[in-house]
Structure 1
Amino acid sequence: MGGLNGEPGRSGAGSRGFRFVGRDAEQRRLRTAAAHPPGVVIVEGEAGIGKSRLVREAAAQLGEDGRRVLIGACHPLREPLPYGPVVDAVRRALPGLPAGLPPPAPALASLLLDGGPAAPEGGPKSRRLHLLHAVREFLAALGPAVLVVEDVHWIDDGTRDLLLLLARDLPDGLSLVLTQRPEDHPGGVPALGTALLRQPGTGALVLSLDRLAESDVRDLTRSVLGERATSDLVAALHRRGEGLPLVVEEDLLTLLAQPGRADDAARLREADVPRSLREAVAERLLRLPADAAAVAEAAAALAAPSAEAVIGAVAGLDEERGAAGLVEALHASVLREYGPDRYAFRHVLARQAVYERTPGPVRRRLHRQALRVLAELDPPPLVQIAHHARALGDRPHWQRSTEAAVHQALALGDTGTAAALLRQLLAEPGLDSEARARAARSLAPIAAQGVDFYANAVALRAILADRQLPPAVRGEIRTGLGSLLLNQAADREGMAELARAVEEIGPDTVAAVPAMLALVFDERQGPESAERWIERAERAVRGSNDRPLAADVRATRLTLAVTVGRPVPWEELDRIPRGDPDPGVVRQTARALYNVGENVLDYGHDRRAAALVAEALELARRTSFPAVELHAEVTLLRLEVLAGRWEGLPERFEALAAAHPDSLVVAAERTIASGTLALARGLSAQAVDVFDQAAVTTSERLMGGLSGRTAAGAVAVRAARGEHREAWESARAALAAVRQAGHWMRAGGLVPAGVAAALACGERAAAEELTAEVTAALDGRDAPAAAAELHTARGLLAEADAPRRAAAEHHAARLAWQEIGRPYETARAAEAEARALAGADRVAAAAALAFAAAAYAGLGATADLARARALGQERGLRPKSSPGRRGYGSRLSPREREVAELLARRATNQEIATALVLSPRTVEHHVANVLKKLATTREAVAAALRAAS
């Protein structure tokens, strides 16, 4: 068995015990390359990116596989020792060498051992050749081995020559692994050049490490802090360190030192720069010439990517010296280019570190110069000017600049920047009441349309706590809060806030119209109340010159018509303005298109819905309407689920959730998609967890069709696990809520799931009553999806005593789903058709089952495919396998690949047995074969599958 020999205090598990995250693919590539000598691997990345951790994790595995790993490192201040990094690596390997290995040759032994033989005589060139041969001879005698030399950006000339010579004739059993920082190479030339990677017969691999994704930071944070790892904290950690592992780990150590604090994210936002980063930045600055250091200080004070001329002028340098200093700062990787003539620090904490170490008088001078230089630009960057005025303590100047910047941002349609600036104004303790009211009234409508739920809600609630506000102003702000609670959290409290806002503003006034329009959609009040609110809004806006408000009323009227199940007004939708010069009018067009699109998607008009939502997204982006933009992005992902385009969906949902951690709609749709895919792939335990969690959340909120779809998923997964009584109880509660709201057109699969659950519990009368009730409710309605679900419900009812009628109903459902464009539902209907026909028409049943099986296979619905196969075997609808089996050798068989894919999704053996309709013993056999063929562990199957494909 080989061993791992590393530097003291740097273990393969990580010196601080943090979990290894985000590098599975890189680790596997490194291990694979190192395990196939001879070869050279270069691992590169900036300081703190995790090069050493990656190498040590891979080295630990290589050592367990029987490879001897020798690790040395270059240092900027190494004491004189010829070829020190290589000699250090060999010296540390000596205690673990097997007995019988020949001793090192004199040229090497003289450096390794006290009192060792004298080095061979001769000049430097002769001694170097003797040492090279001695090192090569020693490494070759070790057998399978890996020589790691870290930090070769600090390599000395002698070691560089030694490694280049060694690489030209690597021993057959040796792999050479080097780590380096590209930014530290003078002029961008690698320390060892490119010749190292061009040797005939030698493998070559360059691994460039990227920063951690937010999902990786979340995994790391959860492993360290457990339940304290909120989405807000993870976002703060990722944003603050920009994914640099060194910074994230330093911040986690800071949080660990103060356990149990509820304000981790807020405290982190105010924390100092981590010590290790401060030291790294200070070291880099000390190496800069004076003009480059001045440029760095100016860039730190400017705090935003800036032009060369601006940075030089703020630094107090003429054009030539400013340009030269900037080039030096770029070569030293202190600054980087962010775009044409825009330069700034590589990450925000590096800027903060430089700013904090700049003396106070110098900082004030830089801010004064920045104010002067920026004011001369056309147009002046008002947000930056406000920043420098505030840094100088000039509050009147800061307030004027900030208010001007708000107007500028709103004129450009940048509501996000406007909201952030308004929150800054409102957070200022000494702001006068008139300015506070102005800012509050401006923020309220932006907050209602924005996606930064937490920050906007906190700001609006804080304003409402001010008892000196006039009632009408309070009502406008409360309208923003109520709309925000509804749009972003589906919170019932939002309706109560809106009702209060109408009274505070004054009923039937123009200012109260936004609140009245939101109250139209109070599900608890019924259609009569909705009609009264929309009529009051229409009367109030009549005669008003506020065109965006009139467009808001029109959009609400269109939405209401579709929501209550009236025929979709397609012609009116075509007439609403897309190219109006007023962005406020176009925003309401985007809202109408999205709302109608979302509703008709629930009804089963998927193609029309996709077109409407895509157009809404385009208009929302064009006019800066973030709330509609976010909802449209979520709905387009939902359309991908329905259309069976499942590849990469979990990652796309995760990215959207990471960008909008406070959005309940994103979380709910992500959960439904996750549960649907988990159930289709046999991960029933995961599906139960996610659907149960979502069902609780949506049942307590005003979430319309989402509640029905979530409840349907929870019922289906319990039925799949054989928990029929629990499934029926869940269905009954959810059906009661749909009944109260009158949402039978958008029950989202709950009706057939409820009928199936009732029949499984012997509650046939309840199943028949439910089907009759829904049949009456859908009479004359244009709801293709609900009609297809009703065909399925009738088919289920008829299967016991009228199989041909049942098959006809299931076939009708199949055709309906096919027309709608939902392949998973189409396959489920075809399978049900085959089940109904199995005893009456085996040929037709076999054809329907073959259709379903092919669809399941294409979707990757492993559990459904296994169930269909089992039905075919049980009913004799497909031929049994021939006695002779095809040999697959070291490749995975189709069944083993199914098992491997379930293992990659962390399925248990029992879940695999259930999903694939296999015995536990058979599953154990397949799992063992998969792990053996992939040469991996159960935890690493996902990475092994990716590498194999």
Structure 2
Amino acid sequence: MPDGGGTADEAEVALRRRLAAALDPKGPGRPVLLLIEGAAGTGKSRLVARLTAAPTGSARRTVPGDPPAAAGPELLVAEDVHRAPADDLARLRALLAAPPARLACVLSYRPEELAVPGLVLGPDTDLPAALTVVRHVVGPLDVAEVHRMAVAALGADRCPPGLAAVLHRVSGGVAQTVADLLDRPDLPDLLPPGPAAAGQPLAAALDRIGPPPRLEMLLRRRTAAVPEEHRPIVFAAAVLDEPATSRDLAAVAGLSGPRSTDALSAALRAAALEERGDGRYGFGSPLAAAAGRRTATGPDREVLHRRAARLLVRRQPVPWERVAGHRRACGDERGWLHAVERAARQFEDSGEQQRAVGLLESALATGPVPEQARSRLARLLARSAVMGLRSDETLKVLRHIVADPGLPPAVHGEIRLDLGLLLCNQMGDVMEGRDELARAVDELAGRPVPLARAMSALAMPYGPDASFAENVAWIERAVTVAEESGDPVVQAAVAANRVSVLLNGGDPAAWPLIERLPRDSDLIGCRQQTSRGLCNAADAAVWLGHYDSSRALLAEGVELAARSGAAYAEQTGRGCALVVDWATGRWSGLAERCRAFVDESGDMPYLASDARMVLGLLALARGEWADTLDHLTGPDAAGLDTGPVPISATASGALVRLALAHDDVAGAATEAAAAWQRLRAKGIWAWAAELAPWAVEATLRAGNSSTAGAMTEEFAVGLDGRDAPSADAALEWTRAVLAEHTGETARAAAHYERSAAAYRGLPRPYHAALTSAGAARCTLAADADSGPALAALADCATAFDTLGATWDAARTRADLRHHRPSTERRPPGRPRYGDVLSPREEEVAELAAAGMSNREIAATLHLSPRTVEQHVARALQKTGVHSRQQLGRVLGTATQ
């Protein structure tokens, strides 16, 4: 009776119990036969070793041929029984026909290599009723088990996402094949860096590795056991590389009638092929099939591939990608290119752009392709690439093709259009990309569909190279051309970009246009453009301060993008979600999510810019100033003069604030002036929300009061008539800063209060706490009733602590102590804390662990550098650590 159910570990525990019960000297004495069945390489021997490593009691371990014990428990182990000589089988049958009472017999075997299928000990086996018979089938590993093997062999840091899934797929989960692949010393070098999209790069790498020698020898031995006239059926299965019917195998092998039936039977008897269920036959894994193909000669393979291609084109729908592979393998170049084009269109129609890109890249990079076919394939590649993720190979191919003077201008323009989009989006080269788009407009005159796309792309407002007025002019032209084209997909693309232009400008007319996007179109191209429009609208809503609307748009847009194959739009939506979480105070685990997103999309600067910005802002709030600079200005960050303007403005606001914290007023004012000029050139003042308060403060502290006043007024005028609640709250904050600097503390407090109320309503808890603290500070400076102001400061410190804003919390507590009435201060004399950190020592230790210098901590907490030095020394002594970094781990304030 077979054991079944439960996990592999549970089954192993159950088998151990059965063996222990049979060998227990105090037990009832019922013998057991344990049959360990599994195909070659599945791990039977390892299981047998684990089961029999420490038998219960004083059992004597024997092997076939040993005389049975006169009495006492006996464990008999025989492995690879399928290879046992006839004499050993006879002795086993004789022993099991009348087994001792306390016998546990463990036999392992390959069912596919038994002399008589299903009969482990041969046809003369007759087992008595007193013998308990248990069969345990060792099957393939699952993905989790393969992952554990990979981590054990390579280490977690050398196992990229998707590796286990691909290893499982190509090996069929056969443990020995997985182990042999992992034993390859060059395996880590052949794996692509970073995450693998859909497993495709990893699969290609493993294809280059080829079948392990052990697997290839096994397949060659089994194929050699098939009579030569029957071997074509094995080669046919290897070429088809999928479970196939006997009819399909016969057609590819070129066999008919009884010859095909005899051939399949011979291949099954030799275990060269196996039954795959539902009347289909083949190999257990793609690598096994690859080993099978290598056993056939080149000319034989060509014939088989040609027949396989003829077989597949008769299917509906035709699997054109597989047809292309077979035609290429048999040297049919013209048929191969035709199949590649049909496959790419098939993928495009089904929203599988990434698969189309990989196929077309390979075709265009493989030798000379006739000019007519090359231009068609290049246009397909360009169209698919702009909806997918970054591919340097695609960029290389398109650049090479667009430089060909022999192509017609219209083809040049169409390819240049998608090249420009690829540069702007996936590659992050906005300036070069927009140059290509502008050239494409000239080349596409008279072709309304691609022309409208090019104009619409130039209308997108994020880049710093064109003013908002120019963006509006481009979208108006694009709308006109798209209407003239009559093409629903390009009309959807232009409509999506029109939403983005109007919404980023704070135009309320954009909201009804979002509802008109063709979500339910029968055309996948329309759905892809709609998903892009929804994700872009969500991004615009974030910068405006409509966070609930942004989340709703993201949920719809990302889901639609995933369903329609718009991978780039899906990723932009996921990046936008990080900004929403930062703005609305959902900071728990946010840094980890940002780092994971950067790892996943770090080679696409535009995509990663959202996550890098959020990481920089979080680091600033914690006082981790070196990390702030690295995230916002490091080599992988978006350029302040070339990156998306809203992100540049936000980053500049953080850099201004950082410079002010360092008391670098001149540096802060310089950064503020440069950032303000970028916004002025762009003309979208809603994007000044994260910059204006800090820029005006830096300008005031630099002594330029009139300039600061003009900046505040320019900000106000720019928001007039615009729907931008976050910027409106920031305008109140900016006016508060201006009033506070001129000594109008009561008016400043009122502006701060209005700003805080607006931020609470959005909600933006971090900004609400910053402005509430400003209102309390101004109230205290005006000698007003200090009770509510001190309570407000305490609430702000708590809010900062809740968010994890270590630096802001410490600053606020320092202000609280500074303004606390004398009656509330502690009594004279130093309290005794013993080996426990005092509140002040803990506060200093937190900032030191965050990476702040003693002088920076002193400025934050209104202490002398010498006092800070003493607090740090005591904190190190009391916690028993030797560095500021170790302090972070002890205090639990290390980077999250």
TM-score (norm 1): 0.65
What secondary structure is seen at the aligned counterpart in 2 of 1:698?
coil
1:381 aligns with 2:319: yes
Deviations 1:325-358 (A, max 9, x none): 989999xxxx9x9x99999888x88987886687
In 2, distance between residues paired with 1:940 and 1:342? Answer: 63
In 2, distance between residues paired with 1:669 and 1:483? Answer: 19
What secondary structure is seen at the aligned counterpart in 2 of 1:799?
helix
Which residue pairs with 2:778 in the alignment? 836
CA gap of 1:657–1:870, structure 2 versus 1, over 3 A, is same
In 2, distance between residues paired with 1:283 and 1:874? Answer: 81
**Of 876, 880, 896, the match for 2:820:** 876
- The answer to whether the 8 A contact 1:479-1:501 is kept is yes
- The answer to whether the 8 A contact 2:538-2:576 is kept is no
What secondary structure is seen at the aligned counterpart in 1 of 2:351?
coil
In 2, distance between residues paired with 1:411 and 1:633? Answer: 24
Deviations 1:822-853 (A, max 9, x none): 22212222222222223433212122122212
Question: What is the one-letter code of the residue matched to 1:806?
Answer: A
Offset, 1:371? 4.1
Offset, 1:473? 1.1
CA gap of 1:527–1:683, structure 2 versus 1, over 3 A, is closer
**Of 412, 435, 441, the match for 1:496:** 435
In 2, distance between residues paired with 1:653 and 1:298? Answer: 49
Which residue pairs with 1:120 in the alignment? none
Indicate the larger mover: 492-501 or 369-378.
369-378
Offset, 1:737? 1.0
Indicate the larger mover: 712-721 or 321-330.
321-330
CA gap of 1:704–1:453, structure 2 versus 1, over 3 A, is farther
CA gap of 1:310–1:391, structure 2 versus 1, over 3 A, is farther
Offset, 1:666? 2.4
1:519 aligns with 2:468: no
CA gap of 1:665–1:529, structure 2 versus 1, over 3 A, is closer
Question: What is the one-letter code of the residue matched to 1:649?
Answer: L
In 2, distance between residues paired with 1:605 and 1:782? Answer: 9
Offset, 1:459? 2.0
What secondary structure is seen at the aligned counterpart in 1 of 2:675?
helix
- The answer to whether the 8 A contact 2:468-2:682 is kept is no
1:846 aligns with 2:794: no
CA gap of 1:879–1:530, structure 2 versus 1, over 3 A, is same
1:478 aligns with 2:416: yes
In 2, distance between residues paired with 1:640 and 1:885? Answer: 42
Largest Rg, 1 or 2:
2
Offset, 1:605? 1.4
CA RMSD of aligned residues (A): 5.4
CA gap of 1:786–1:491, structure 2 versus 1, over 3 A, is same
Which residue pairs with 2:387 in the alignment? 449
In 2, distance between residues paired with 1:649 and 1:310? Answer: 56
1:857 aligns with 2:806: no
**Of 749, 759, 765, the match for 1:807:** 749
In 2, distance between residues paired with 1:748 and 1:867? Answer: 23
In 1, distance between residues paired with 2:869 and 2:723? Answer: 47
Question: What is the one-letter code of the residue matched to 2:317?
Answer: P
Which residue pairs with 1:923 in the alignment? 872
Offset, 1:804? 2.5
Question: What is the one-letter code of the residue matched to 2:809?
Answer: L
Offset, 1:884? 7.1
Deviations 1:159-192 (A, max 9, x none): x9xxxxxxxxxxxxxxxxxxxxxxxx984499xx
Question: What is the one-letter code of the residue matched to 1:396?
Answer: R
**Of 609, 612, 615, the match for 1:674:** 615
Question: What is the one-letter code of the residue matched to 2:687?
Answer: R
What secondary structure is seen at the aligned counterpart in 2 of 1:209?
helix
- The answer to whether the 8 A contact 1:813-1:829 is kept is yes
CA gap of 1:862–1:310, structure 2 versus 1, over 3 A, is farther
1:459 aligns with 2:397: yes
- The answer to whether the 8 A contact 1:295-1:325 is kept is no
In 1, distance between residues paired with 2:700 and 2:769? Answer: 22
Gaps of 5+ in 2: 1-44, 55-68, 75-102, 107-134, 170-177, 192-199, 254-259, 862-866
Offset, 1:368? 5.6
1:653 aligns with 2:576: no
1:251 aligns with 2:190: no
**Of 616, 637, 654, the match for 1:713:** 654
Which residue pairs with 1:194 in the alignment? none
Offset, 1:673? 1.3
Which residue pairs with 2:86 in the alignment? none
CA gap of 1:578–1:267, structure 2 versus 1, over 3 A, is closer
**Of 552, 556, 570, the match for 1:611:** 552
**Of 390, 407, 414, the match for 2:328:** 390
What secondary structure is seen at the aligned counterpart in 2 of 1:476?
helix
Question: What is the one-letter code of the residue matched to 1:853?
Answer: A
In 1, distance between residues paired with 2:541 and 2:574? Answer: 16
In 1, distance between residues paired with 2:893 and 2:676? Answer: 43
What secondary structure is seen at the aligned counterpart in 2 of 1:838?
helix
Deviations 1:883-902 (A, max 9, x none): 8789999xx99999999998
1:599 aligns with 2:537: no
TM-score (norm 2): 0.68
Deviations 1:653-682 (A, max 9, x none): 333333334311222112111111212222
In 1, distance between residues paired with 2:288 and 2:874? Answer: 54
Question: What is the one-letter code of the residue matched to 2:389?
Answer: V
Question: What is the one-letter code of the residue matched to 1:567?
Answer: P
CA gap of 1:380–1:542, structure 2 versus 1, over 3 A, is closer
- The answer to whether the 8 A contact 2:606-2:643 is kept is no
Indicate the larger mover: 289-298 or 564-573.
289-298
Offset, 1:602? 0.8
Offset, 1:308? 8.9
Offset, 1:708? 0.7
- The answer to whether the 8 A contact 1:896-1:930 is kept is no
Which residue pairs with 1:754 in the alignment? 695
In 2, distance between residues paired with 1:249 and 1:723? Answer: 55
Offset, 1:423? 2.4
CA gap of 1:723–1:376, structure 2 versus 1, over 3 A, is same
Gaps of 5+ in 1: 1-73, 79-83, 87-122, 129-156, 161-184, 191-205, 222-233, 257-264
Identity %: 31
- The answer to whether the 8 A contact 1:788-1:817 is kept is yes
In 2, distance between residues paired with 1:462 and 1:511? Answer: 20
**Of 770, 773, 786, the match for 2:711:** 770
Question: What is the one-letter code of the residue matched to 1:503?
Answer: D
**Of 623, 638, 642, the match for 2:564:** 623
In 1, distance between residues paired with 2:514 and 2:890? Answer: 48
Which residue pairs with 1:634 in the alignment? 575
In 2, distance between residues paired with 1:946 and 1:641? Answer: 19
What secondary structure is seen at the aligned counterpart in 1 of 2:720?
coil
Offset, 1:576? 3.2
Which residue pairs with 1:406 in the alignment? 344
In 2, distance between residues paired with 1:915 and 1:239? Answer: 53
In 2, distance between residues paired with 1:432 and 1:560? Answer: 41
Offset, 1:585? 2.7
What secondary structure is seen at the aligned counterpart in 1 of 2:410?
helix
What secondary structure is seen at the aligned counterpart in 2 of 1:651?
helix
Deviations 1:618-674 (A, max 9, x none): 222232222322211111122122222223333333333333343112221121111
Offset, 1:583? 2.5
- The answer to whether the 8 A contact 1:295-1:312 is kept is yes
In 1, distance between residues paired with 2:232 and 2:834? Answer: 71
1:704 aligns with 2:642: no
In 2, distance between residues paired with 1:739 and 1:575? Answer: 32
Question: What is the one-letter code of the residue matched to 1:405?
Answer: A
Deviations 1:584-631 (A, max 9, x none): 333333333333332222111111122123222222223222232221
- The answer to whether the 8 A contact 1:837-1:844 is kept is no
In 2, distance between residues paired with 1:249 and 1:911? Answer: 53
Deviations 1:201-226 (A, max 9, x none): xxxxx99836459x987x669xxxxx
- The answer to whether the 8 A contact 1:600-1:606 is kept is yes
Deviations 1:846-869 (A, max 9, x none): 221222122222212222222222
Offset, 1:458? 1.6
